[in-house]
Copies of this chain bind each other. A is one copy, B any other.
């Protein structure tokens, strides 16, 4: 029915939490990060930073310290998508309204690109939320030496899937409104 490969990829993407021990190649990781950086961003500020985590001892520390990242294994890589909040400072002064949080939208679009690209090349990924939970932000900031003007949005784990769950059926006509809510 859906003949377009991109749309099929969007509709069949699933969250993967179980990874084999086969490591993600540097080439694949680079492709995922390229896809992430191709996201649109408010005023083209591209406020993202990516911390790629491959060191086994650091992965073990994260696995032991972060209850939401217990699925870390030998094969997977971690990618922490962060936003640079300092980019908005001079713009706020002229606009009078606080647009700082545009980084959240831009970094989320970048994260979604990354998940879609992973699925497209046969990898699986899970987006674990960090911001706006302050305890998670602080913990990750400490573990990864993230400076104050940079905020970790999430920790994405990516690897070779043990198996692919069936996509969830999410289409819901009740979410649609026409011309007015």
Contact = CB atoms under 8 A, between A and B. Distances in A.
A131 B134 CA distance: 21
Given A115-B40, A181-B144, A153 B10 contact: no
> Which range holds the interface residue count of chain A?
35 or more
Interface of A: 2, 4-7, 9-11, 13, 15, 31, 33-35, 37-40, 42, 44, 46, 48-55, 58, 82, 95, 97-102, 104-106, 108-109, 111-113, 115-117, 119-121, 127, 129, 131-135, 144-147, 150, 153-154, 167-168, 170-172, 175-181
Contacts of A113: 10, 112, 116
13 contacts: A6-B117, A7-B35, A11-B34, A37-B170, A38-B167, A38-B170, A50-B176, A52-B177, A54-B179, A58-B180, A97-B133, A109-B111, A112-B112
A52 to B, nearest CB: 5
